[in-house]
Amino acid sequence: MKSPRHVEPVDATDLQLETILTSFDTNYVWNYGSVKEGLRDLYEKAKRDQWNGTLQLDWKTDVDPESEIIPAAVDPLQSYGPYQKLDARERKRLRHAQISLQLSQFLHGEQGALIVASQLVGGVPWIDAKYYAATQTMDEARHVEVFSRYLREKLEWEWPINESLKELLDATIRDSRWDFKYLGMQIIIEGLAMAAFGSLHQMTQEPLLKELIHYVMRDEARHVAFGVVSLTGYYEDMPPNELSDREDFIIYACELMRNRLVGDQISEAMGWNREEVRRTVLESPAGQQFRRLLFARVVPNLKRLGLITPRVREAFEKLGIIEFEDFDPEEQDRRLGLA
């Protein structure tokens, strides 16, 4: 297997930097009273639920990175011919690659969320939203910290960001309109992350990762709620040409995210045929189920915001995700012990 960049010791890290050009309006808010219903309650909850990943996670836990951190039975590649020819040692190596790839994307997504949350502090037009966005910025910094530490210390393997995820993060970070940042991050990316985190939390028996994911999900549930509360009513009287821009973005983002988790980086590392691996993942029962369930939070929240317009509905029907429009995200949180 061709190994992606392994994490070097901290004192020898090859620091990498990428600069992108951004431009967005920054708003002072001279009304310091509570002017957006629900945001003050979220802010109080965020202050109450802060946690310290250094102290509250048991970093002494031994982790075997080649063990079944995710059960092999749910691997969408298990029916793939080249996979079946791997010996026991090679399958362990592949398991290590897959879990490190998944957590690397979580890590990169959390850094994107950190950047967007910091932009929202300046861009949002309500003081309560600034308060909350500041707490989310701290949350996201903590998430980057704990995922990075788990990858460095326990898996010792970090992958580059997936191209499609990077594309959506860049689009969200670069857009000058504050509501697009909410749509891209709070509603779509955070909603997808909650579904992916929930799936991993239910499947893994590795105690440190399970606890880490649970803490992160408690924060993320608030972040999605922040987007829903902030955008409620915002699109009701929006002119058709401006609403069309939001429809374009929603369809683009959901199509991009539905089609991104298809094993391209694994196929390159293994020297396997990229299109064969993509087809195997897309057609596997496990892959199809996972890619559908990713939208179990995104679609109902978009409906609550009045954004399942006829055009968006048609696109979601083609994607096979409109079935989630009447799901209850709060009930999902209660089942996971997050509410």
- Residue ranges covered by each domain of the chain: 36-50+66-335
pLDDT over threshold 80, residue 240: yes
Cβ neighbours, 10 Å, residue 314: 12
Q: What is the pLDDT of residue 9?
A: 43
Q: What is the pLDDT of residue 261?
A: 61
What is the amino acid identity at position 29?
A: V
Q: Model pTM? A: 0.92
Flag the least confident range among 25-34, 165-174, 220-229: 25-34
What is the amino acid identity at position 155?
A: L
Q: What is the pLDDT of residue 66?
A: 96
Q: How far is CA 240 from CA 235, 245, 259, 277, 309, in A?
A: 10, 9, 28, 41, 11
In this prediction, residues 26-46 reach a mean pLDDT of: 91
**Residue 155 contacts residue 92 (beta carbons within 8 Å):** no
pLDDT band, very low/low/confident/very high, at 258 (cuts 50, 70, 90): confident
pLDDT exceeding 70 applies to what percent of the chain?
Answer: 94
pLDDT band, very low/low/confident/very high, at 11 (cuts 50, 70, 90): very low
Q: What is the pLDDT of residue 1?
A: 59
Distance CA 40, CA 190 (A): 21
Q: What is the pLDDT of residue 134?
A: 98
User: What is the average pLDDT score of the chain?
Assistant: 91
In this prediction, residues 41-67 reach a mean pLDDT of: 97
Q: Which residue has the higher pLDDT, 48 or 332?
A: 48
Q: What is the pLDDT of residue 308?
A: 97
Element (H, E) at 88: helix 88-123
Flag the least confident range among 23-37, 76-90, 212-226, 314-328: 23-37
pLDDT over threshold 50, residue 13: no
Q: What is the pLDDT of residue 339?
A: 62
Out of 3.90.700.10, 1.10.260.40, 3.40.640.10, 1.10.620.20, which CATH number does the structure's domain 36-50+66-335 have? 1.10.620.20
What is the amino acid identity at position 122?
A: G
Distance CA 150, CA 51 (A): 17
Q: What is the pLDDT of residue 12?
A: 38
**Residue 257 contacts residue 294 (beta carbons within 8 Å):** yes
In this prediction, residues 3-10 reach a mean pLDDT of: 47
pLDDT band, very low/low/confident/very high, at 18 (cuts 50, 70, 90): very high
pLDDT over threshold 60, residue 166: yes
In this prediction, residues 231-251 reach a mean pLDDT of: 96
pLDDT exceeding 90 applies to what percent of the chain?
Answer: 73
